[in-house]
Chain A
Amino acid sequence: MTVSNQTLETGAEKYYQTQLQAGAFTIQRCGDCDKSIFYPRMICPHCGSDDLQWYTPSGKGTVYSVTVVRNKPEKGGDHNVALIDLEEGPRMMSRVQDIAPGEVHIGQSVVACIQRTGDEALLVFVPAGDKA
């Protein structure tokens, strides 16, 4: 099921966050050039069309690049920051969890999940399968 960005009563950012809060990871696809895009926008950055349709992507992705931000243990310890290429094409910044920060590697297969901290919902990834 797709939802047209033009029929929303809010901007794309608000819609994305609301969907995420409700437990759904949704992205946009251009009705004219058919490219999927991320982050949520009001026009397609590839062709300028405002015919953007929201849909649920597969959630499958591949690590395009990764860095480990080094932090002292009292400041929460190390964490990774990764760029993930979604199966549908677009790239996003995220974090790969359920794995030691330094073990995440370029080319690794990952799957999206929604992490909740208090009222916040955040899209993160975990390694695909038992052993990625």
Chain B
Amino acid sequence: MIDPKLRGATAIVGVGHAGLGLAEGYTEMEILVQAATRAVRDAGLTMQDIDGIATASVSSTMWVMPVIEHLGIRPTFIDNTMVGGSSFVAHLMPAIQALVSGQCNAVLVCYGSTQRSSTVNRAAIGKMRRMMDPQPYETPYEPLSPLSSYALAAARHMHQYGTTREQLAEVAVAAREWARLNPEATMRDPLTVEQVLSSRMVSDPLTVRDCCLVSDGAGAYVLVRADRAKTLRQKPVYVLGNSTAVWNRQISSMDDLTVTAAQQSGKIAYEMAGVKPADIDVAEVYDAFTINTILFMEDLGFCKKGEGGDFVSKGGIAPGGHFPVNTNGGGLSCVHPGMYGMFILIEAVRQLRGQGEARQVANAQLALVHGNGGTLSSQSTAILGTEATL
């Protein structure tokens, strides 16, 4: 059991982003540093106050070192953990422990990617990855990576529970409805279920509109101990729970394609936070593909296994629905720079600060953030709350 003292012991006090959408002419380091600077200033701190750092990169295995060098800091807590898109949610727990133990006093978690504007094409990166991270029992069958893995999960969910393509499309439409309320979102044109269904099929049953965007973008947040958080500029957003789970790397090694390790990470995060799904006011989950949102609603206890399709139907998770999910427009319509996990945390912080503007969820006190990485491989759940939830 996680030490109960860790609940609410730290808070996110600063968030920032840069280069959302297209960052032509900038490197990923440059937009990362812009986002980091904004997060530190948002907290009312200076870069010299940062003595802990966590980051991860899709391509650079020693990424934290050039980041430290560029920022000009001398951290005493360093975390380069890379578990795919959920990394920046998974970075919370080690940072919490480092802060509570006194190893450091202010942790900066940061990420940047220029995957859209980069001159290194993604096919070349894909080829490199196949050499450096071989999957000899999957690659010869030429699945689209990672898309076909999610398509296989979607097909199985449809077979097992009667989930429909229309219900998958509802997830994309809800994300778009939220994006239309967010001036920072990339895709803001109206979208209908019929348009999702009739768009180009990529890997059955997923069409291009069932898939996340390919964008540039950088994001960062700053985490400090709760006592210090109270003295800083912004309303603190407390970390009440966090847990990360990995059961497999490859989709072919997953026991049941309709059950993810989010069941484990969610259970532990809820226990640590002392809350249950019904208490959550808003959820920000990693929607790389429409099936993700359905799987995570089930695995995180918002509905029963197999009922995720019904849960998202009839605008259930759209603005005005019964439960607000992915209020920034998600990876499907807001932004998706390779590893989206950073941006779900930023959106949750904004909602709990009451800075959601047109998309603000009324009286949001408790937010659930859920990151996913690989091919339904890594799962990290965080529960965040306002001072009222302590």
Residues on A lying within 8 angstroms of B by beta carbon are 13, 38-39, 64-70, 79, 81, 83, 91-95, 102, 106-107, 120, 122
Chain B: residues with Cβ within 8 Å of the partner, total of: 27
Q: Which residues of B contact A107 (CB under 8 A)?
A: 159
CA distance A83 to B141 in the complex (A): 11
Known: A66-B155, A70-B201. 11 other contacts (CB 8 A): A39-B253, A64-B156, A65-B155, A67-B143, A67-B203, A69-B148, A69-B203, A81-B143, A93-B141, A93-B252, A102-B204
Task: For chain B, residues 113 to 140, give those with C-beta under 8 angstroms from any C-beta of chain A.
Answer: 136-138, 140
| Contact A92:B252 (CB < 8 A) given known A65-B155, A66-B152, A106-B155 | yes
Residues on B lying within 8 angstroms of A by beta carbon are 136-138, 140-144, 148, 151-153, 155-156, 159, 200-206, 250-253, 257
Verify B159–A67 contact, CB threshold 8 A. Answer: no
Q: Which residue of A lies closest to B250 (CB)?
A: A93
Which residue from B140, B204, B250, B251 sits with its C-beta under 8 Å from A68? B204
Verify B202–A81 contact, CB threshold 8 A. Answer: no
B139–chain A nearest beta-carbon distance, Å: 9
Q: Which residues of B contact A66 (CB under 8 A)?
A: 152, 155
Verify A70–B152 contact, CB threshold 8 A. Answer: no
| Contact A95:B203 (CB < 8 A) given known A65-B152, A67-B152 | no
Q: Which residue of B lies closest to A102 (CB)?
A: B204
Verify A69–B143 contact, CB threshold 8 A. Answer: yes
CA distance A93 to B153 in the complex (A): 13
Q: Which A-B residue pairs are the 8 nearest by beta carbons?
A: A67-B151, A93-B252, A65-B156, A39-B137, A65-B152, A68-B204, A81-B143, A106-B159
A-B contact pairs, 16 of them (CB 8 A): A13-B136, A67-B143, A69-B142, A69-B202, A70-B201, A70-B202, A70-B204, A83-B251, A91-B253, A92-B137, A93-B137, A93-B138, A93-B252, A95-B141, A102-B204, A106-B159
Q: Which residues of B contact A68 (CB under 8 A)?
A: 201, 203-204
CA distance A91 to B252 in the complex (A): 6
B163–chain A nearest beta-carbon distance, Å: 13
Q: Which residues of B contact A91 (CB under 8 A)?
A: 252-253
A52–chain B nearest beta-carbon distance, Å: 16
Verify B203–A83 contact, CB threshold 8 A. Answer: no
Which residue from B140, B153, B202, B251 sits with its C-beta under 8 Å from A122? B140
A14–chain B nearest beta-carbon distance, Å: 11
CA distance A39 to B138 in the complex (A): 10
CA distance A61 to B201 in the complex (A): 28
| Contact A67:B141 (CB < 8 A) given known A93-B252, A106-B159 | no
Q: Which residues of B contact A38 (CB under 8 A)?
A: 137
A45–chain B nearest beta-carbon distance, Å: 8
A46–chain B nearest beta-carbon distance, Å: 11
Q: Which residues of B contact A106 (CB under 8 A)?
A: 155-156, 159
CA distance A79 to B204 in the complex (A): 11
Q: Which residues of B contact A65 (CB under 8 A)?
A: 152-153, 155-156, 159, 257
Q: Which residues of A contact B142 (CB under 8 A)?
A: 69, 79, 81
Q: Which residues of A contact B257 (CB under 8 A)?
A: 64-65, 83
Q: Which residue of B lies closest to A45 (CB)?
A: B253
CA distance A94 to B204 in the complex (A): 16
Q: Which residue of B lies closest to A95 (CB)?
A: B141
A4–chain B nearest beta-carbon distance, Å: 22
CA distance A81 to B142 in the complex (A): 7
CA distance A69 to B138 in the complex (A): 14
Verify B251–A93 contact, CB threshold 8 A. Answer: yes
CA distance A125 to B153 in the complex (A): 20
| Contact A67:B204 (CB < 8 A) given known A83-B152, A93-B137 | yes
Q: Which residue of B lies closest to A93 (CB)?
A: B252
CA distance A49 to B251 in the complex (A): 23
CA distance A64 to B203 in the complex (A): 16
Q: Which residues of B contact A70 (CB under 8 A)?
A: 200-204
Q: Which residues of B contact A102 (CB under 8 A)?
A: 204
Verify B136–A93 contact, CB threshold 8 A. Answer: no
Verify B202–A83 contact, CB threshold 8 A. Answer: no
Q: Which residues of B contact A94 (CB under 8 A)?
A: 141
CA distance A96 to B159 in the complex (A): 18
A47–chain B nearest beta-carbon distance, Å: 15
CA distance A87 to B262 in the complex (A): 29
B384–chain A nearest beta-carbon distance, Å: 35
B138, B203, B252, B257 — most chain A CB neighbours (10 Å):
B252
Q: Which residues of B contact A95 (CB under 8 A)?
A: 141
CA distance A15 to B140 in the complex (A): 18
